[in-house]
Structures are given as C-alpha cells and as structure tokens.
Chain A
Amino acid sequence: MHFVVCAKQIPDPETPPSAFRIDEANNEVIPAPGISPVLSQFDGMAAEAALRIIEAAGEGKITVISLGQESAQAAIKQVLAMGADEGILLEDDALQGGDSYTTARTLAAAIEKLGDVDAVFCGRQAADWDMGQVGLGLAELLGWPSAIIAKDVQIENGTMHVQRVLADGFETVALPLPAVVTISNEIGDPRYPKLQQIMRAARKTVNRWSAEDLGLDPSTVGDAGARLKLERLFIPELGGDVEIMEGESAEEQAQNLATTLREAKVL
C-alpha cells in the first residue's frame, strides 16, 4: 500500500489572540515574533491515521507532500520523523500564493506523477485559512471517492472504512480504494517522534518538484490561477465592553451578577 499525507506549514494557530497581527495593506498575517510556524494540527493527525494502518498491516509506504516555501521542509521532516518514508516539497515561484483550487490542482498533479497511490490522507482543514476543501478537491480532480472529518480509518481488502463525525453521532462509510480521507482531532493526538527518529528523518529523501516538473501551466497555478481573490483581511471587533462584578467576596460578586442579569433582563 502506498499512502500520501498532505501536510501544510502554517503560522502557529495557538498564537495568543493578543499577539495576532495583520498587515492590512498586503492582506497578510504578520508572523508573531518568537513563534515558529508549525505543521497544521490536523495534518499531524492525518499522518497518525496513515501510520496506524500501515503498522497494523505490517507493510506499506507513506509519502508526505507539502506545497509551500523552503521552510515547509520542517513540516515534511516532522511527518518523516513520525514514520513516513519519503517527502516531496512542491516549491517554485509559480506555485506561490494561490487558493484552495490551485493547491488541490498542484497536489493532484503530484499524486498523479507518483502514480501508484492507494489513499490520500489530509487534515479536515488547514488551521490557517480554515477552508476545509483541498481534500475534496483532490478527490474530485483524481476522480476518487472521499469521506471527510474522520475519527477512525481502517483498510481491509481494498476497502476503506471511515468513521465520520456527524453533528449528532458517528457514521461508518465504506469506500473502494483509491480514496481520499480527511482527518479530525477525534482521532487522537499524533505520536511524538523520539530523538532517534528525528535524526533518522534528517537523512530521509525530500524531493523537490516545480510547476514544470508537474507539467502545470504557470497561469493555472499559484497566484495567477487563484479563483478566490482575497480583497481584504481584517481583525473583527469583539466589542464585549466588559463590566466586572464588584464584591468583597465570591458570594457578593455572584449576587451582583444575578441582580445585574435580572435588571438587564438577560435572565
């Protein structure tokens, strides 16, 4: 079995809101000083899901693919340290920028170039733009079935069984391979690589493919090919205007809150 894990490097989503800044002139997030970019959380979970299946089967290979800048090597290395076998960085000027459409198109071209892929594992959404569509876009471009927001994935006799998270429960879906699945946090925390694995990952191969290597016309990828044009990025007002309850004791504060809520007709 050959699996692909799609891994994106993003600004740390757990950056405290007070340190979150936007460059409104360029519609960009300003990296918070001292906070390094990270592997998008759900992509680590996608790697975990793929690794569990390979371990249970006792055979198989994982290729991790990232579309990004040079620094995205770190995200690839992290998945390699978890246990993936090979990495591919899709990187060149033509591929920069872009949207979900161009991302899916570029990743699909890489998966087609690999040729022998049985399943693709993505995160449920990249924790920067929170779109949640690249996995489904891949499925559509490759012509494969898919299931999203999984809490468990098993593969048996060429069929993928995905337990999906619904609003009011769970549903198990059977998909013929090859297929795409997107993973949610209900799957559990990804494994934490040991030092030895990190060192071994440093020696694993990371190939680098450009738009040309993928046979992609530069006008259809990156910024040039994007279909959603970002016009404005801004920080919304929270505007709570908080009134803190006074009181000598917790009892007094609590009583004040109850009275205030009654007077404001909130309770």
Chain B
Amino acid sequence: MARNILVIGELDGGALSSTTAELVGGASRLADGGQVSVTLTGAGASGQTDAAFAAGADRAFVNDDATYDEFRSDQWVGAAEQAIDQSAPDVILIAQSIVGRDLGPRLAFRRDTAVAMDCVSIEDSGGAFRATRPCYGGNAQATYAFATSPAIATVRAKSQEPLDPPREGASGEVVELSGAGESRAEIVGREAAVAEGLQLQDAPVVVSGGRGLGAPEGFGLVEELAEAIGTDKAAVGSSRAACDLGWYPPSQQVGLTGKVVTPDLYIAIAISGASQHMAGCSGSKTIIAINKDPEANIFKAARYGIVGDYKEVLPPLIEAVKNLD
C-alpha cells in the first residue's frame, strides 16, 4: 500500500549524513509508491537536496540556517511540524542520534501520537506498521504495532540500507521552511572530547578492552594491537566498566549507553560480554574474544576466541599480526 514517509534529515559537516541516506533509502522501500519527503536543516542544507533526491527522496523541506547546526528541540520540533503539516506522513523516521533521541519523543507527544525508539527494523504488514527494537539491555527484542498515526520511529544507524546504486541525477521538489523561531533552551558552552584519528563508528576494525585488563596500563597492549592492525583501520574502544573506572575516555565506550559500532572485525579483550555491551557491537561482522573465562558470555557471540590471560596472549598476537604480510 502506498504510504507517505517523512525522514528528519541531519547534516554532518554540511553534507547529508550517511544515516539520513540510509533512512531515505529505507523510506523509499517502505513508501511502496507513496511520497518520500526529507527535512534538511542547517548551514549548507540547500546544497544537499540533490544528494537527498539521489538517496531516494521525492521532496525536500529545506532551511539553510546555521541555527540548526546545534540542537535545540523547540526549533527542530518546529521544522518537523511544518514538514508534517505539508506532507501528511503515515510514518516519520528519525535517526537514533543526539538529535533523534530528543526530537523523537518531543515530536510524538506534540503530535499526540507514539514513537518507538532505537528501532532496528520497520515493516508495513497487514495494514499496520510494526517496529522491532532491542530492549532489556539487548537481552531481548520487542515488536510493536502503532495504535496512532503517524507512526514515529527513531532508527539505529546501519539498520537500513541506502539505495544501491543511488538515483544519480534524480530531481525532486524543494520546499522552503519558514524561520527557525524561538528556543527556550540556550546553548552556553561546548567542549570537544573525542579521540584523534580514526573514529570508532568509521573504523573497519575495533579493538576494545574491559575491566579484566585489571589496570589502565592494560589499554597500552590493546592500543598496540590496534596499531599493529593499522592506525588507518583500527580504533580502540572500551567497556563501560573500564570507562567508569577512569581507565579510558567515555567517548570510546561501546554499548547500549555508549557508541554502537558495526565494524568488519570486533576484538573484545577481557570483556565479559554483558548484554548492554553486546548491544553496541553485536552488529559486527566478525567478533573475536580473548578472555580467561571459557564460560564468559562473549564467547556466545564470538566467531573466534582464545581462552587465556590477555597479558600472555596479546604480546605474541601483536607480533603475529605484524608479521602477516
């Protein structure tokens, strides 16, 4: 059945974010002949309409205003409401991002409907929308049907496929949104805290350390392994237990309340594999576990494993990786 879908787009460094392209791709499949609209707000937005049409959108609601480069819910809700009024969507898709975590619920309550957060799949079956999302720290998944319309879902990165190939050269309708309006919240400070070099979410290999390292020094070996694999390929992550102990920066935390990563290879060192940790890495193509406890949960999710003390295993592993030609 043809459905109208609205995607709340986000820009990343002035360009259409990769997650927005995924959501628009997912929306164009879900629309089944209906209209796919996308909002593009922030500095550079008007230059991204072609990218949005190539990604699968039919219409772009644009406000090229740097006010949106920072998130203030009053303004983002305002822009979304204008787009809703003009596109009458059956479904609204928003990334499970810093923006989406706030905007999704705000918008749902404002429009007197419901939102399902952090969805990994959305389907249109038997005349109703259903969304599936992890819950109970990743131990379980729940499928919900929506009793109200529009159905709103915030969607996990990498859970929808972008159009492949994109519709290069496709055109669409551009609609200008009106002014950003007032915000009750005022942003008064900002502090960057992010590791240099390759970012966790972009790295094809993530090497993570946990509480079983026993001391912050343990991360030295974890970093050496990442370097042996290649600084252009591997980034270092951490469990929350290790972050909470102050052994590694919180920006590198992988998991339910940290970052969700989907690398080709995830190496978990001295990490037990609690559901909340796996929630952030179970989408990895291959997981390797190094743990001294053969019963550790991480081995249930891993493809390859070494049962042993990381202090003994990592030095020869680092050498062996360096010697791979």
How far apart are the CA atoms of A91 and B15 in the complex, in Å?
49
> A103 CB to closest chain B CB, in angstroms?
12
How far apart are the CA atoms of A22 and B321 in the complex, in Å?
42
Query: Which B99-121 residues sit within 8 Å CB-CB of chain A?
Result: 101-102, 104-106, 108-110, 113-118
- In contact, A185 and B244 (Cβ under 8 angstroms): yes
Query: Which A234-262 residues sit within 8 Å CB-CB of chain B?
Result: 234-236, 238, 240-245, 250-251, 253-255, 257-262
A250 contacts which chain B residues (CB < 8 A)? 306, 308-309, 312-313, 316
How far apart are the CA atoms of A146 and B194 in the complex, in Å?
25
Query: Which A121-156 residues sit within 8 Å CB-CB of chain B?
Result: 124-125, 127-133, 136-137, 139-141, 145-149
- In contact, A176 and B108 (Cβ under 8 angstroms): no
Number of interface residues of B (CB under 8 A): 89
Interface presence of B2 (CB below 8 A): no
Assuming the contacts A13-B137, A231-B143, asked whether A242 and B114 have C-beta atoms less than 8 A apart, the reply is no
A interface secondary structure, majority: mixed
Interface presence of A54 (CB below 8 A): no
User: Which of the listed residues A140, A147, A230, A262 has the most CB atoms from chain B within 10 Å of its own CB?
Assistant: A140
How far apart are the CA atoms of A254 and B315 in the complex, in Å?
9
Interface presence of B189 (CB below 8 A): yes
Interface presence of A226 (CB below 8 A): yes
Assuming the contacts A17-B297, A254-B317, asked whether A226 and B189 have C-beta atoms less than 8 A apart, the reply is no
Interface presence of A170 (CB below 8 A): yes
- In contact, A245 and B306 (Cβ under 8 angstroms): yes
Interface presence of B49 (CB below 8 A): no
B 133-153 binary contact with A (CB < 8 Å = 1; else 0) = 011110111111111100000
Smallest CB-CB separation from A228: which chain B residue?
Answer: B144
Interface presence of A227 (CB below 8 A): yes
How far apart are the CA atoms of A70 and B243 in the complex, in Å?
36
How far apart are the CA atoms of A209 and B288 in the complex, in Å?
51
- In contact, A243 and B303 (Cβ under 8 angstroms): yes
- In contact, B190 and A171 (Cβ under 8 angstroms): yes
How far apart are the CA atoms of A16 and B275 in the complex, in Å?
8
How far apart are the CA atoms of A241 and B302 in the complex, in Å?
7
Interface presence of B24 (CB below 8 A): no
**Other-chain residue from B192, B303, B320 in contact with A168 (beta carbon distance below 8 A):** B192
Assuming the contacts A173-B186, A245-B304, asked whether A227 and B135 have C-beta atoms less than 8 A apart, the reply is no
- In contact, A261 and B144 (Cβ under 8 angstroms): no
- In contact, A137 and B300 (Cβ under 8 angstroms): no
A 107-120 binary contact with B (CB < 8 Å = 1; else 0) = 00000000000000
Query: Which B272-311 residues sit within 8 Å CB-CB of chain A?
Result: 273-276, 278, 282, 286-289, 294, 297, 299-309
- In contact, B147 and A175 (Cβ under 8 angstroms): no
- How many residue pairs bridge A and B at CB < 8 Å? 240
User: Which of the listed residues B102, B259, B300, B313 has the most CB atoms from chain A within 10 Å of its own CB?
Assistant: B102
- In contact, B320 and A258 (Cβ under 8 angstroms): yes
Interface presence of A96 (CB below 8 A): no
Smallest CB-CB separation from B307: which chain A residue?
Answer: A244
B117 contacts which chain A residues (CB < 8 A)? 130-133
Interface presence of A174 (CB below 8 A): yes
Number of interface residues of A (CB under 8 A): 83
A185 contacts which chain B residues (CB < 8 A)? 240, 244, 257
- In contact, B188 and A172 (Cβ under 8 angstroms): yes
**Other-chain residue from B102, B114, B305 in contact with A245 (beta carbon distance below 8 A):** B305
Interface presence of A2 (CB below 8 A): no
- In contact, B312 and A228 (Cβ under 8 angstroms): no
How far apart are the CA atoms of A257 and B74 in the complex, in Å?
52
B 171-198 binary contact with A (CB < 8 Å = 1; else 0) = 0000000000000111111111110000
- In contact, A169 and B305 (Cβ under 8 angstroms): no
Smallest CB-CB separation from B273: which chain A residue?
Answer: A17
User: Which of the listed residues B104, B113, B117, B134 has the most CB atoms from chain A within 10 Å of its own CB?
Assistant: B117
> B192 CB to closest chain A CB, in angstroms?
4
Smallest CB-CB separation from B289: which chain A residue?
Answer: A242
- In contact, A231 and B275 (Cβ under 8 angstroms): no
How far apart are the CA atoms of A202 and B117 in the complex, in Å?
37
- In contact, B316 and A20 (Cβ under 8 angstroms): no
How far apart are the CA atoms of A167 and B260 in the complex, in Å?
11
Besides A129-B136, A169-B194, A186-B250, 13 other CB < 8 A contacts? A101-B108, A136-B106, A140-B105, A140-B106, A149-B101, A174-B186, A228-B146, A238-B278, A242-B302, A245-B306, A253-B313, A257-B304, A257-B317
B residues engaging A (CB < 8 A)? 70, 73-74, 97-98, 101-102, 104-106, 108-110, 113-118, 130, 134-137, 139-148, 184-194, 205, 229, 240, 244, 250-251, 256-257, 259, 264-265, 273-276, 278, 282, 286-289, 294, 297, 299-309, 312-314, 316-317, 319-321, 323-324
Q: What are the 8 tightest A-B residue pairs by CB atom distance, in nearest-first order?
A: A140-B109, A133-B105, A258-B320, A227-B114, A172-B189, A136-B105, A250-B312, A254-B317
Return 11 A-B CB contacts under 8 Å, by A number. Answer: A130-B118, A133-B115, A140-B110, A173-B188, A228-B146, A234-B141, A242-B300, A243-B303, A257-B304, A261-B288, A266-B265
A residues engaging B (CB < 8 A)? 11, 13-18, 20, 22, 27, 29, 99-101, 104, 124-125, 127-133, 136-137, 139-141, 145-149, 161, 163, 165-176, 184-186, 226-236, 238, 240-245, 250-251, 253-255, 257-262, 264, 266-267
